[in-house]
Every structure is written in structure tokens, then in C-alpha cells.
Structure 1
Amino acid sequence: MIRNKLTLLFIIIPALICAQAFRNYSNEFLNIGVDAAALGMSKSVVATSNDVNAIYWNPAGLVNIKDYQGSLMHASYFAGIANYNYAAFAMPLDGESALGFSIIRFGVDDILNTTELIDSQGNIDFNRISLFSAVDYAFNIAYARNLIFKDIYFGVNAKIVRRIIGDFASSWGVGLDAGIQFERNDWRVGLMIRDITTTYNVWNINEDEFAKIQNAIPGQNQELPETTEITKPKVQFGVAKKFKIGRYFNLLSEVDLNVRFAQTNDLISTSFASIDPAIGFQLDYENFVFLRAGVGNFQNTTEFDGSKSLSLQPNFGVGFTYNGIQVDYALTNIGSVGNALFSNIFSVKIDYSFFRR
């Protein structure tokens, strides 16, 4: 564990040092996702998310909630070194609009700070080792309402991003997401634009603490990093359909296209934009017990011998609802990166409307 956190120290500090003013990737913790039900479907829910978790997936879906709802999720990342926590609350304002709030915390705690391990005379003093945390927060306020037609919903999500790397640096960021959903018969269509205004993060560098990093590696890192990051917009488009199977079962299927305006290793990649498709399924027994599966994160990989291969990420999940409480489980790679171990994700949703009966 100590060696792992020492490794993370050498990952986090250079990331701070090498920060650039304009980046294709920033605030990546906001792309992890929330809710085990959605993760079990490979995040293919932009057209169908219609509860408190729509604050994250598509705020337009909040229009469908009928009473107070709350949601909680916890997940481990990097084999338990990092923790990812999420809490949300939503309520209807009237028959045509709703409001929601959520908070996300992604953090690595108790990292060893060894920048003062060796003093000016070259002596090693382990008492000079301290601990710090690298933590990311996102605070979200979402609003949704019906548009002119009752089958069209629109929602916006304003977010404040707070990032802290011990005493070395911290930043504030603001951004805006917008989404729309359309429902007709058993078909649903959704569009979500994240960071539609671009999201700005402004960093404050503690020059005294940064000097310790400079002194720890003489001759290196002598310039302060840039202090502004801009997160480019991302687009998610989804189409879903619900099927009736026999008397008791229903099948929900959705196909999503996740678009980044950057060249990546996604299945479809150009210099202008890259597209990563995902597909998810949910089979339910009278909306009581749920079985979910999905596949996504299609990546073109270059092997050491120069050959090309295509990788993908399968996901599975189950859930049940009883007396207004829904418990969901997903087996998924929470980080969606490389060969990282799959994680066991649990989430709980409470619908207060049941308790009013």
C-alpha cells in the first residue's frame, strides 16, 4: 500500500507540473459515471435516465420524477487506493418541472509527501514525511421542464468543480451541461452536451510548496505550470426502445454514441472528432427485479509488435426494488482504462412517493 501511494505521488505531482492551458482532457473524474444501474448498462442511458440520477446522465429526465428522490453510490478505484463517492437529491417543482442537486468526490487520501525527506545536508529524516490528499469535487444544480410538447423535456446542469492537491495547488472551475429527451410510444431519444460552454478551471499554485518540488529534483521543473485549463464539449446521443416480453417481462435496449472533439483511440477517430459507441440492455420482471448487461469503451490498440487490435469492455448488473428502495449492483471497470481490475459497484436509490401511500 505504501509503495502504491508513493507511486501515485510521482503520478500526481508531474501531472500538476506539466499542466497546459488548453487540454483535450481535464476534469476526467466527471466522465466516470454514477449509479450502478447505468454502469451495468455500459452508461447507455442518456435517452432513458428518468430519476434522480438524471442530474448526471441527462438533466432533462428529471421531469419524470413524481416525488422526492435520493441516491447514493460508493466505488473503489485503483484497487482501493482511490475512493469515488456520489450523493444526489431531486424533487418536482410542479407538474412540468423539477430540481436536483448532487455532489461527487473522487480522492486519493494519505499520500506520502517525501519532498522534504532529504535535508539540505543530504541527511534522510523519515520524520519529515507528511501526508496529503489529492481530491476532486463537483457540485451540481440541475433544472428540467417540459417544452411546448408534453413528450419533449429539456434540462440544464450547472456545475462547480473544486480540485485540491494537498498544499501544492488548488483550483475552481465552472461549467454547464444541457440535455434534451423525446419520448413517443415505446421509443426514446436523448441528447446530452457536456461542458457546452466549455468548463474553465483556474489553478492557484502555492509557490512555496512548489519550490520544495523544484528542490527535490535539482535542475528540473524550474518553471511554474500554466494555471488555466479548459474542458472541451462532449456530446452523447442515444436511442432506446422498450419491448414487452410475455406477460411479466420487459426489455429495455439503448444504443449511445459518445463523441469527443479530439483524436483518440475510440472505434471511430478523426482529427476533428472521435466516436465511442455503447449498447446496454435491461430485462425486468414487473419492474421488481432487474438484470442488466452492456458493452462499450471500444478502443483501437497498438501492440508492442506494431499490430492493431480492438478491445472492448463488457459490463453486468442486477438490481431490485422493494418498498420504495432500489438497490443496484454492477460489475464494471470503473475507470474504463486498460487492463485495470473490474470493480464491484453498489448504489441505493430511495423514492419517497412510496412512503406517502
Structure 2
Amino acid sequence: DGIPNTLSLYNSDGTINFDNVTEFSAADYAFILSYAKPFKVKKGQLLGGANIKVIHRRIGPFANSWGFGLDAGLQYRIKDWNFGLVAKDVTSTFNAWSFSFSEDEREVLELTNNEVPINSVEITRPQILLGAARRFQFGNVGLMPEANFIFTTDGARNTLLSADPISMDIAGGVEADYKEFVFLRAGVSQFQQIADFDGGENLKARPSLGVGFRISSLTVDYAYTDLGAEESTYSHVISLHLAIRPKAKE
């Protein structure tokens, strides 16, 4: 919220009028339908599933898009260990963008040497995640640390290991729960080399905190990311999860 729209900052005579500055919001919406099932194995438990997702993105009154994608994953559990493999945007996710600028707004963009957007398709390339976690139990309190390796396929990125077309990053976190009813979470991700004013580079990462509640088949999760960022950027992520199980056969 509160993004300033300065397209009308200048009057027709070239003078500046801050009263013409308005604000707009940018938001992403996602509808995800998931299906998962267990598979028979000799030891442990093997689970598999997939997501079909519909994504709607909106940037003020200027732009909006609709997109579709597919995710798939496997999880293997043995004793207190969990191992996971997730393939995001398996078929690549396509977002079709449409833009609606008035003639005056298009003229301002051109006069200020900005590119006038045209209707186009944004492609999100596949991403592979490998993860491992182990659960520890101390009475009513559970503790589960985890580590993840993230592989992207859209070219060189600012990550720990950068290459073209595949780059790799790592992420880690820990979850504590009480009777698997309330959950507290902390993590770190997005390790990047950030340039300083003196020309040097420092390794920085994005920390995050979270809390969750599970009541019967309903789970509510909240996460807060970009803690302490110098740019004062942050994200609130709220998730609702309802598990629907078929009735047991008699």
C-alpha cells in the first residue's frame, strides 16, 4: 500500500504540483488446489503430491495478470527424519499481463524516457528444492530444525553459488511447538552479496519469524520477513490450511 503515483506530478506548464500525487497498491493473490497421498514402501513412509495454482497479480489501476502453474513434491519419512523434494513451476508458470494507461499517462512515460508497457506474458522457470529436517521431542515440546538447498533454472542469480543457467542458494530454520497446537518459527534465507558505498561487498541474508495454530483440521500460519532490512521492506504472509480427509471404508 501507499506507493506514490507521480505520473501527474508536473502540470502542463512544467511546474510541479505535489497535490497531483496519488497512491496505489500492489498485491498478489493465489488459489492453490493440492492433492497428496501416501505410497507403500518397505521402510518409512513415502508421500507424494501436487499443486495446481491460479495466480492473480494487480498493480494499482495500471496492470493486472492471470497465471497458471503446477508444483509437485515427494517426502520420505523414517523415524524422526524428514526428507523432501519439491519441483516448483514444473511446466513453467505463465502470467499474462494487461496494462491500462491513459493517453496522458503514456505521454508522460515517453517524455520521461520510461518504457511504455505492452500486453505480454511473464514466464517463471522451474525451481527445485531439496530439504531435510529432524524432529526432537522434549515432553510436550517439539523442536524441528531443517536445512534446504534451492536450485533455480533462470540464469545466474546473486546467490551463494551463481552459474548460468542453474544457481544454488541455501535456507535454514527451526520450528518449536507445544503439543502440536501452537508453533513458533524462525529462519534465514536469501544469502546475497550486497555492494557497499566503498566498493566492497558484504554477505547478507533475510531473516524471518512466524507463528502458527492448529485446531482440528484447520491450520493458521503467519510469517513476517525482511526483519531489520535497511530498506525497511517487509512482507506479511498469512496462510489458512483446511485438511479434508475421506471417510474410512467400513
The TM-score, its normalising length taken from structure 1, stands at 0.55
Deviation at 1:148, TM superposition (A): 4.5
- Tell me which protein shows more helix as a share of its residues: 1
In the other structure, the counterpart of 1:293 is: 186
- Runs of 5+ unmatched residues, structure 1: 11-112
Q: Deviations over 1:17-70 (max 9, x none)?
A: xxxxxxxxxxxxxxxxxxxxxxxxxxxxxxxxxxxxxxxxxxxxxxxxxxxxxx
Contact 1:142–1:155 (CA under 8 A) maintained in structure 2: yes
Structure 2 distance, partners of 1:130, 1:330, is 30
Relative distance call for 1:125 and 1:349 in structure 2 (3 A) is: same
1:311-326 to 2 correspondence within 5 Å? 311-319=204-212
Contact 1:214–1:222 (CA under 8 A) maintained in structure 2: no
Deviation at 1:260, TM superposition (A): 1.7
Q: Does 1:201 align with 2:95?
A: yes
2:195 aligned partner, one-letter code: T
3-state SS of paired residue (2:3): helix
- Runs of 5+ unmatched residues, structure 2: 246-250
**Corresponding residue to 1:157 among 51, 56, 59:** 51
Structure 2 distance, partners of 1:190, 1:347, is 21
Relative distance call for 1:156 and 1:243 in structure 2 (3 A) is: same
1:5 aligned partner, one-letter code: I
Contact 2:159–2:190 (CA under 8 A) maintained in structure 1: yes
**Identity within the alignment, %:** 34
Count of residue pairs the alignment pairs up: 241
Structure 2 distance, partners of 1:277, 1:171, is 30
**Corresponding residue to 1:139 among 31, 34, 39:** 31
In the other structure, the counterpart of 1:283 is: 176
**Corresponding residue to 1:5 among 3, 6, 25:** 3
Contact 2:109–2:116 (CA under 8 A) maintained in structure 1: no
Q: Deviations over 1:237-267 (max 9, x none)?
A: 111111233x333221211112222222212
1:254 aligned partner, one-letter code: E
Contact 2:92–2:125 (CA under 8 A) maintained in structure 1: yes
- Tell me which protein shows more strand as a share of its residues: 2
Deviation at 1:281, TM superposition (A): 1.3
Q: Which has the higher contact order (CA 8 A, sep 6+)?
A: 1
Q: Does 1:173 align with 2:171?
A: no
CA RMSD, aligned part only? 3.8
1:56-71 to 2 correspondence within 5 Å? none
Deviation at 1:197, TM superposition (A): 0.5
Structure 2 distance, partners of 1:347, 1:138, is 11
1:145 aligned partner, one-letter code: K
In the other structure, the counterpart of 1:23 is: none
Relative distance call for 1:186 and 1:299 in structure 2 (3 A) is: same
3-state SS of paired residue (1:114): coil
3-state SS of paired residue (1:139): strand
3-state SS of paired residue (1:299): strand
**Corresponding residue to 1:258 among 143, 146, 150:** 150
